Amino acid sequence: MPTVEITNTHPRKRIPRKQLLRLISIILSGERKSNSSWVSLVFVTRRTIRRINKSFLHHDYETDCISFPLHPPFDKTIQGEIYVSLDAAYDQSKIYRVSYFNEVLRLAAHGCLHLCGHEDLTERSKKDMIDRGERYLNRLN
């Protein structure tokens, strides 16, 4: 069973902890990653994710999710960190007309897929990644 650590640093917003643990396990299994994988999910405010984005990626803007793989490319054992802005999740849940918890799960899935090696640099790869994330979310239910 992969190790999934969850930290919520947001002062007001809550997260679906049990579903997040299951979702990450489903994704890692589906992507054929090792049971000895380790993923840290950190939930933050919009200010914090902007600071992380600026400090580490040199992008001075807010984003919804940032992933930092800590393993060699194409490795079967995933090690990495995913940062999710709960403020962005809340805002996007209104835009996409989904529940707040559903959007939190979508962003966590997106971050995990990045750790697994998927990219979303083109419109096609972005659509493929979103579709893949939706398939994993459907398996969660």
CATH number reported for the structural domain that contains residue 117 in this entry = 3.40.390.30
- Tell me: pLDDT of 128 over 80: yes
Q: Note the pLDDT of residue 35.
A: 84
Q: Which domain holds residue 51?
A: 3-140
pLDDT at residue 72, rounded to an integer: 86
The total of other beta-carbon atoms located within 10 Å of residue 12's CB is 8
Q: Kindly state the average pLDDT of the residues 52-74.
A: 94
Rounded-to-integer distance, Cα 53 and Cα 97, Å: 26
Q: How confident is the model at residue 53 (pLDDT cuts 50, 70, 90)?
A: very high
pLDDT digits (tens, 9 = 90+) for 75-115: 899 999 999 999 999 999 999 999 999 999 999 999 999 99
Q: 98: phi > 0 → left, psi -120 to 50 → alpha, else beta; which?
A: beta
pTM of the model: 0.95
- Give pLDDT, residue 1: 80
pLDDT confidence bin for 16, thresholds 50/70/90? very high
Rounded Cα distance, 28 and 127, in Å: 20
How many distinct structural domains can be found in the chain?
A: 1
In this prediction, residues 52-69 reach a mean pLDDT of: 96
